[in-house]
Amino acid sequence: MLIDTHAHLYSYEDVLRVVKDSADFGVETIVSISTDLATSKLNIDIASKIENVYSTVGVHPCDIEQYKIDDLVEIQNLCALPKNKGIGEIGLDFYHSNDNRIKQFEFFDYQIDIAESKNMPIVIHARDSYYELIEYLKSKKIKSDFVVHCFTGSKEIAAKLVDLGSYISFTGIITFKKSSELREVAAFIPDDKIMIETDSPYLSPEPNRGKKNYPKNLIYIAECFSVIKNLSLEDMKKILKDNSVEFYKL
């Protein structure tokens, strides 16, 4: 059985159907990740109603302009609810916005402090910001577990993140025909630091690339990893599940 460590269930009209279909494909648990206060509340509600669905809460770097730093007190309150399992996705995105770096760091830092105070894991978004993220993590010395999701960086970057204690999570991008270099990076990551995710409804893996993504498609990413790591699918599933359970304290 598999755990989708990063999906956005609030994106679907029939969430119950999506969850049931996922179970039919061997995805037993889904962690629904938030990007702002509104989706944090939606995810808390979804998780409270559906067994084997959990949430994280947080404000994504691309969504910070609609908030003041004081608004993050609400994230602190939401994260204490029973089925919330982490803070995220939070981080640094210099691809979509490069003129608010100071505010991005302020929101990132504040939300990491929330996670640390609650002993909760952190889901990190990083785009065009890996080197800045690494320097920040070196100075911050985070005690909570953290994962860099949807990783697309080099082996050098991955090595530095793993040295800092990071888990590395891969999406359907790993299955794309032109992702041979990323598969080489994945092969390099220690087995106990790998997680997989769909990031659904985005980034459908092969053979469904270009279509709306669903958590049930996680199996294709797991199959790809079993080839990358030269392991049986069942052994690969166990490694991935154990890592996900350990990270989210499920």
Which pLDDT score is estimated for 98?
A: 85
- Over 90: is that where the pLDDT of 240 sits? yes
Q: Do residues 47 and 84 make contact, with C-beta atoms less than 8 angstroms apart?
A: yes
Token pair 């025909």 in the structure block, residue: 177
Average pLDDT of span 199-211: 96
Give the dihedral sign, CA 208/212/218/219: negative
DSSP at 122: E
Among 129-133, 140-144, 194-198, the minimum mean pLDDT is found in: 140-144
Average pLDDT, the chain: 97
Which pLDDT score is estimated for 13?
A: 95
Domains of the chain, residue spans: 2-248
* Spatial separation of the C-alpha atoms in residues 58 and 78, rounded to whole Å: 9
Q: Which fold has domain 2-248?
A: TIM Barrel (3.20.20)
Give the dihedral sign, CA 172/178/179/183: positive
* pLDDT band, residue 244 (cuts 50/70/90): very high
Six token digits for residue 154? 């080099």
Q: Report yes or no on whether pTM surpasses 0.95.
A: yes
Average pLDDT of span 179-189: 98
Q: Do residues 231 and 11 make contact, with C-beta atoms less than 8 angstroms apart?
A: no
Q: How many CA atoms lie within 13 A of 26 on its CB side?
A: 15
At 105, the amino acid letter reads F
Please tell me which residue, 233 or 97, carries the higher pLDDT value.
233
Report the percent of the chain where pLDDT is more than 90. 98
Which pLDDT score is estimated for 236?
A: 98
* pLDDT band, residue 202 (cuts 50/70/90): very high
- Over 90: is that where the pLDDT of 97 sits? no
